[in-house]
Structure 1
Amino acid sequence: MSNLLTDRQFWVNYWESKTGLSVSIPENYLFHQQLGDLIRQQNVKNAIELGGFPGYYAVFLRKYFQLDVTLLDYFVHQPVTNALLEANQLKASDIHVIETDLFKYVPEKQYDLVLSCGLIEHFNDTADIINRHIAFVKPGGSLFITLPNFKALNGWFQKTFDRENYDKHNIDCMDPKLLQQICEQAGLKVLQSRYFGRFSIWFENEQQKPLGVRLLKKSSWLAGKLLTRVFPFDSQALSPYIILEARKPL
């Protein structure tokens, strides 16, 4: 079985279907608190975002923490990234861009922080893709990975109403204990590997869904938000994300 659940054409089609990509990244961007704490505590100076086109987290780290940032992805359409940078009052030179196949690329340097958000779940061999992340982490550096939790209610919506998108994801990797085990076997110290977030549901290209599906999604979203406001806790059943933070020993 191929390790890839997607190919380059999938991502070309995916990004070409998107509009409004050049947005101003807010200071309270998703995972801002976790990243901010990590950067301050570890005195992070440089970072690389893997599989992050068009570069939202690279822009976030440059804009609010002035890190020396690199974006690496299999598919990079530079005009889109440049427009994103401009929308955030940054220059093209503020982010280093590497367009390459992660499975063929040998890291030329290592970084204080290596992160990916929504990457590892597109591969069958979870240990392999995580170890490719670890190769970029310098001794004493940090690994920060997030991915969706399709074992939650959100995953039921994806599986039921968007099976094509659901099948592009490795559901088995959406397991905090598995992710922790892989990192520990690689010699890293795991600081957190857990479900994250109160509740959320989303669709790709939602406006293309039938009206009844959109209404069901909206009513479920409202009910879930109300429930988790009254009973705020992270859980496999409701949390939309998984977060992993680990450190490579010196």
Structure 2
Amino acid sequence: MANLLTDRQFWVNYWESKKGLAVKLPSNYLFNRQLAHVIKENKVKTAIELGGFPGYYAVFLKKYFKLYVTLLDYFVHPPVINDLLEKNGLTEKDIHIIETDLFNYHAEIQYDLVLSCGLIEHFNDTADIINRHIAFVKPGGILFITLPNFKAVNGWFQKKFDKENYDKHNIDSMDLELLKSVCEKAGLKDVEAGYFGKFSVWLESEKEKPVGVRIFKKLVWLTGKVFTKIVPAERKSLSPYIILTARKPGR
């Protein structure tokens, strides 16, 4: 699958290396204000999280907004999801799970809200993966996509100290005009793309990095936090995330 920058084994290894995945999600979870606004303004009742294992956003939407939620991913490990559900006062009946390859799956049901957080940047063909999202959006429904902004300081940090992880990302996808153009060409309306977050840097498997790298990362993080208190605007050079939203005409 040439369009894909990762394979199933990559994600099996990635998730099996993670510890403490079952966490209690707070009401102020990342992107909570944006999601709350979208849900209220569009009277969202149903949602699907694409490529979202272990399903943090599916759980978040069920827990705090009582939506009918579906999680679709091509790697799903039920014990991890069940532990996450239990930690958040939910059961396995609260989330519909589809384990499948998005590239071989036909969207049989459409949803009021289709979201992914940290998915589209793992594909070479940005238009193709976004259009696969759009296939799940019902007329009048909302597309909500977030991805990291590796064109900011955090991207330099990833490239310098975790090149292997950096290379799993399509940096060209992290372009506001490209993202908006894809949605507009697909016929979506109210298309918005912008940078989110004042400043942050992170490393995958940070505890395995050399001590010097971890200390330098902490210094960069602190410096960035101080600077963005003085210059608080969200911007391309500093913001760690990008948010894309759009509406499918109809209804």
TM-score range, shorter chain: over 0.9
Q: Contact between 1:122 and 1:168, CA under 8 Å: does it hold in 2?
A: yes
Residue 191 of structure 1 deviates from its aligned partner by 3.7
TM-score by length of 1: 0.99
The 2-side partners of 1:21 and 1:33 are apart by 23
User: Secondary structure of 1:181's match?
Assistant: helix
Q: Deviations over 1:71-104 (max 9, x none)?
A: 0001000110000000000010000000000000
Counterpart CA distance in 1 for 2:177 and 2:217 is: 29
Q: Does 1:248 align with 2:248?
A: yes
Cα displacement (A) at 1:42: 0.3
Deviation (angstroms), 1:9: 0.1
* Whole-angstrom CA distance in 2 between matches of 1:17 and 1:102: 24
1:180–1:190 contact (8 Å) kept in structure 2:
no
Q: How far did 1:62 drift?
A: 0.2
1:105 aligns with 2:105: yes
Shift of 1:136: 0.1
Map of 2:65 onto structure 1: 65
The residue that corresponds to 1:84 in the other structure is: 84
Q: Within 5 A, what are the aligned runs for 1:121-136? A: 121-136=121-136
> 1:183 touches 1:190 (CA, 8 Å); kept in 2?
no
Indicate if the aligned counterparts of 1:154 and 1:202 stay in contact, CA closer than 8 A. yes
Unpaired segments ≥5 residues, structure 1: none
Match of 2:34 in 1: 34
- Alignment partners' CA distance in 1, 2:18 and 2:52: 15
Secondary structure in 2 aligned to 1:23? Answer: coil
TM-score normalised to structure 2 length: 0.99
Match of 1:14 in 2: 14
Identity of aligned residues (%): 71
Contact persistence 1:69–1:95 (CA under 8 A): yes
Secondary structure of the structure 2 residue equivalent to 1:144: strand
- 1:217-247, Cα deviation, whole Å (9 max, x unpaired): 1001001011111211111100000000000
What SS does the corresponding residue of 2:102 show, helix, strand or coil? coil
Corresponding residue SS for 2:150: coil
The alignment of Structure 1 onto Structure 2 pairs a total of residues equal to 250
Gaps in structure 2 of 5+ consecutive residues = none
Asked whether the 8 Å contact 1:153–1:237 carries over to 2, the reply is: yes
Q: Which runs of structure 1 show a deviation greater than 6 angstroms over 4 or more consecutive aligned residues?
A: none
Counterpart CA distance in 1 for 2:172 and 2:237 is 15
